[in-house]
Structure 1
Amino acid sequence: MGQKKKGPLQFLQFSAIGAANAGIDIGTLNLLLILFPTDEKWLLVLFNTIAYSLAIINSYFWNARFTFQRSAEGSKKQRSLFIVQGIISLGVSNVVFIASHSLISFTEIPNWLRYNISKGLAMFLSFLSSFFMIKYIVFKDFESNR
């Protein structure tokens, strides 16, 4: 009997792929900040958007093939829903990144550490929102509702 992955196992797989995405996300952000140092909010949002977008493309590829393979159809509807959840998660990421950066900018923490703390918080909260949207909306297993 082919059981669909539920609960902890699915979350563990999503988390492992999330770790790879985190490397892409934070690595890209740091590379952009090294190449183009800035404290301008609009550039920080642009850099965060580029980094997050690369990670979300990686996320779709691996999660569709492994974590949610039983319910991933590759249909236009699923791809569209994935894009919508990606935009929502990107919004969460950008808001948390800029808000936390602004809050801790009053401290004497070095810029590189401030950016990475802010990025870590943004990644965590966007990761959680992304998981639940992907599980219950994008790759929803319609067979389980019958």
Structure 2
Amino acid sequence: MAQNKQKRGPMQFLQFGVIGFANAAIDIGTLNLLLLLFHTDAKGLLLLYNTIAYTLAVANSYYWNVIITFKRSAEGSNRQRILFIVQGLVSLGVNNLIFLGVNELLQLIGINNWLQYNVAKGMAMFLSFLASFFMVKYVVFRDYGKRYIDEKN
């Protein structure tokens, strides 16, 4: 049983990562589409665009991670949904702070806007991905009851 637990962690991270690539495509694709259709340099609109893009990716993440990555511990309970929303808001905060912060730094260097926004988005996605994985694994879909039953068998 201990060996199964050890394999589950890396496998979950791999599954979460694969789903994360799809989320990244949704996230960065939505941001770039919004920038293409409604170009702006205004921080407020950039924050709005980033929030819309991230929210779509998080919705996709919830759906696929419940079905694949955390199917053993996903109950579909209100508690899990609320915790997922809370972690999503925390990860959104991390994502927005990094996105705006890196944008500011890159603007000082004088990089063109398109590259600036995409580099900042990439860094924001990576760091919020890490934060999200650990919150989802150890808080949202924590395997309380099933772990006790598994240990007894």
Alpha-carbon distance, 1:112 to partner: 0.4
Aligned to 1:144: 147
- The CA RMSD measured in Å over matched residues stands at 1.3
Q: SS at the partner of 1:136? A: helix
Structure with higher Rg: it is 2
1:69 and 2:71 aligned: yes
How big is each residue's C-alpha offset from its partner over 1:65-113, in whole Å with a ceiling of 9 and x where there is no partner?
Answer: 0000000000000000000000000000000000000011012321100
- State the aligned residue count: 145
Deviation at 1:144?
A: 2.0
Distance 1:111 1:6 in 2: 41
Higher helix fraction (1 or 2): 2
Trace 1:101-112 onto structure 2 (pairs within 5 A).
Answer: 101-112=103-114
Specify the alignment match of 1:20 in structure 2: 22
Between stretches 16-25 and 35-44, larger displacement belongs to 35-44
d(CA) in 1 for partners of 2:8, 2:121 = 29
> What secondary structure sits across from 1:60 in the alignment?
helix
Partners of 1:144 and 1:103 lie apart in 2 by 45
Cα shift readout 1:33-55 (whole Å, capped 9, x = no counterpart): 01111111111110000000000
Partner of 2:83: 81
- What residue is the counterpart of 1:46 in the other structure? 48
Under a length normalisation based on structure 1, what TM-score does the superposition of the two structures give? 0.95
